[in-house]
Amino acid sequence: MAPSNQQPSKTLVTGVVVFYLVAALAMVMANKWVLNTTETPLFFLWTQLAIAAVLFVVSDALRLLPDRLTFDVKTCKGLVPMVSLNVIGLSFSNYTLKYVDASFYQVARGLVLPFTVLTSFVVLHTRPSLAILFACTLVTLGFFVGVFLDGTPISLVGVFFGVASSAITAIHSVVIKQSLNVVNGSALALSWYTNLLSAVVLAPIMLLAGESGGIVKLVFGMDELLVKEGAMTPLATFVWGSLITGALGFLMSIASLLSIKVTSPITHMVSSAVRGVAASLLGMWLFHDIITTGRASSIFIILLGSILYTWIKHKESQSSASSSRSHSPSPSSGQSSKNGSRRTSTGGVYERVKVEDVELGEKVKD
């Protein structure tokens, strides 16, 4: 497809940002809803991945995807690091949500940003500025405020899984760039292989983790006699939760294929803050979570540090672009680069940032 010279409309950008906001909230709440009633978090994750993979196959059969799906053993081997990190990261994330409140989930996974910056420095040798380090320190402070000053009993197991999943997410952000090279830069192929192979890898793991007994109890409804009259059975909750989250995961993958990028990280910065507050309020409403002063302060500090980080990176990228323009010759006004970025009359390139990249604050530089 030839790159377009036009910036995406504000309506389109707003629609994508709102979709990711709502979908991410729905994923967390639906996951918590199911995990409160099941003893098989890995089996729940497997059904989500399997449903997403099936939806890819159905969409391919109906010719709804821009490219045809393929399966190549050599490609599978090249994606081993990516799939391994995906399975571990998603498993730890599910365990985190199982052991902590929905409103505390953001706090438990609050170290994603500092770990991402650290991983970028160690692996990609990207030296952060003092302002970036200050923002990361602020986020880290918010995490410790939440853990030690929450005022309510919290699960240390849940906090451990939250920290571990945060570290895996940070490493994943680096590995995904290498994995895209394996599939010739196709986000569609990467999403397809990731969901399919993760489901295949997770199948024996959930059995080795001892979930076979819980799966049998769930499928054959052995706990249905303990359910209050009028309430949904654990199996019904599990099925509906799996369908909702599996479909949302698939739709989020497809949305990223549209290559719709926001013109500025500032736009998504606001939606991230809204999502953090909304997750806490929904946790109070749906699951009767208790929002203590310590927890509210922790969420506020983490959001403040994340917003500050995104703003700093935005300013630094603007400064870098200005420096590049001052040292580069000017081709023609309004010319677009091959990757779809807008080139100004002075020759500088403003690269639009993907929504999922902004979730981690900023794209990790090569």
Q: pLDDT digit string (tens) for 46-101?
A: 999 999 999 999 999 999 888 889 999 999 999 999 999 999 999 999 999 999 99
Instruction: Output the pLDDT for position 197.
Output: 96
Q: pLDDT digit string (tens) for 174-226?
A: 888 788 889 988 888 999 999 999 999 999 999 999 999 999 988 887 766 66
Q: Where are the domains of the chain?
A: 10-221+233-320
Closest CA to 2 of 355, 257, 336: 336
- Can you tell me which residue has the tokens 């935005």? 314
347-362 burial, b at 16+ Cβ within 10 Å, e below that, comes to bbbbebbbbbbbbbbb
Q: pLDDT digit string (tens) for 243-288?
A: 999 998 888 776 654 443 444 455 555 566 667 778 888 888 888 8
Q: Whole-model pTM above 0.85? A: no
- Provide DSSP, 121-161: HHHH--PPPHHHHHHHHHHHHHHHHHHHS--S---HHHHHH
